[in-house]
Amino acid sequence: MKKIAILNGPNLDRLGKREPEIYGRATLADLEQALRAEFAAAAQLDFFQSNHEGALIDKIAGLADAKFDGLVINGGAFTHTSVALRDALLSAHLPTVEVHISNIYKREEFRQQSLTAPACVAVITGLGLEGYHAAVRFLLKS
């Protein structure tokens, strides 16, 4: 059974409350429940959310040390700003899929640049929460 982590960055704990016209009404707990339901037989899922860059970086290093098989990350705003998060992803040597709930290419110009995408094997953007499901499916096939 593969071990796959799902990491969420800043403000994703506000899903369901924050800009529901962009991010929908489902909460982070709803997403975790849906992923567990779909992949219970195929993967051991580990969920982590933090509004703090260092906590995400520490978690990525811990996942690498624990020999996880893959990582799904929605770095939130850190996607567009954090060289440190990018470096952590590169040094972990984990197959990583970057997920964005909204289509970042239809958003503000500053959101259209991802510093972390080059450290990932794939990027999924604009599929809503289904993007997380697609990312896990991809990692299970890899």
Structure tokens at 18: 């924050």
Write out the catalytic residue numbers: 23, 100
Structure tokens at 4: 């796959």
Q: What angle do CA 65, 32, 3 make, to 5 degrees?
A: 30
For residues 133 and 44, give the distance between their C-alpha atoms in angstroms, rounded to a whole number.
Answer: 14
E-assigned strand segments in the chain: 2-8, 43-49, 70-74, 96-100, 122-125
The CB density around residue 79, as the number of other CB atoms within 10 Å, is 24
